[in-house]
Amino acid sequence: MVLALCLLMAVGCTPKQTRNSSPAEQKAFTFTPPVIPDYMTNPEDRAGYMVLQYWGSFDFTDSTMTTEWQDMAEQAFVDYINIFPYASLQVIQRGIGNMLDKALDGSRQVYDHFAELFEKYLYDPNSPFRQEDFYILVLRYIVDSDKLDELDKLRPRSHLETALKNRPGDIATDFEYTLADGSKGRLGNVRAERIILYFNNPDCSDCKRVKEILNQLNLPGVRVVSIYPDDDIESWRAAEYPAGWINGYNNTTLRSNALYDLRAIPTLYLLDSDRRIVLKDAPVEFIMSFLYQQ
């Protein structure tokens, strides 16, 4: 992020040396980001220029970028995606398309490497750079490309279908849940000004941390709907949940029909009174901050 800001602000910065590379190796591989024209002063324009021109000096025909120089190419990639938050989605879409076009025209090995990096950084649940909006642009490029065959598109198409479910602004997919006493309920029947939909596992350490944070929430009109999506119902019954929460399980349709993207647990959504999604797969700290600022 620091280097990205330096590039946009025209501040003198020296890229940090990548691990496992000696000073001699650093000289053998050089990647020079473009210089933003002086007349561009608007931050979004500067970011857009970088997103579109960033890879101009990169040799996409050189497969050693994925072997001998893999770490340095990856660092260049990370600096690139760190510019995305400062640019518009339309420009990012063009930039991603231009980059992947060059990769496909250059070396299939290089293309595969960068496609994996996009998934690693923008889609992996454990990535600090994870951003579904940006990854959807990558997936749409791949699925629509006439340079790739259908086998290449199978996994990206599956990811795209999942990513497009329950987007912010959508009405959250309804489902049935079972309470501890055996009675049934539906998400669509929950009434509250704000609903925190909290998919969790009682044995998950981070779930316990999130539960403690949510238990401190003291705002009128906010309801927590805690849902266990797996099969160990006895462990779920043995766990304690705060009074006042709706606490249920669904070990059938949530997973089998892939109603929600539950690649990682816990997963949290914030819904409004119409059960329209406000925040999708958001960190609990972000949800709490959002609610207290309303």
Give residue-wise pLDDT tens across range 108-144: 999 999 999 999 999 998 899 999 999 999 999 999 9
How many CB atoms are located within 10 Å of the residue 137 CB? 20
CB 160 within 8 A of CB 141: no
- Please give the pLDDT value at position 8: 60
What is the Cα–Cα distance from 122 to 128, expressed in whole angstroms? 9
β-strand partners of 248: 179, 227
What is the Cα–Cα distance from 206 to 210, expressed in whole angstroms? 6
Query: What CATH architecture applies to the domain 176-293?
Result: 3-Layer(aba) Sandwich (3.40)
What is the Cα–Cα distance from 181 to 232, expressed in whole angstroms? 16
What is the overall mean pLDDT for the chain? 91
How many CB atoms are located within 10 Å of the residue 125 CB? 12
Give the CA diameter of the chain. 69
What is the Cα–Cα distance from 79 to 182, expressed in whole angstroms? 52
- Please give the pLDDT value at position 31: 81
- All structural domains of the chain with their residue ranges: 2-163, 176-293
Predicted structure pTM score: 0.84
Q: How confident is the model at residue 21 (pLDDT cuts 50, 70, 90)?
A: very low
CB 8 within 8 A of CB 86: yes
CB 81 within 8 A of CB 122: yes
Q: How confident is the model at residue 32 (pLDDT cuts 50, 70, 90)?
A: confident
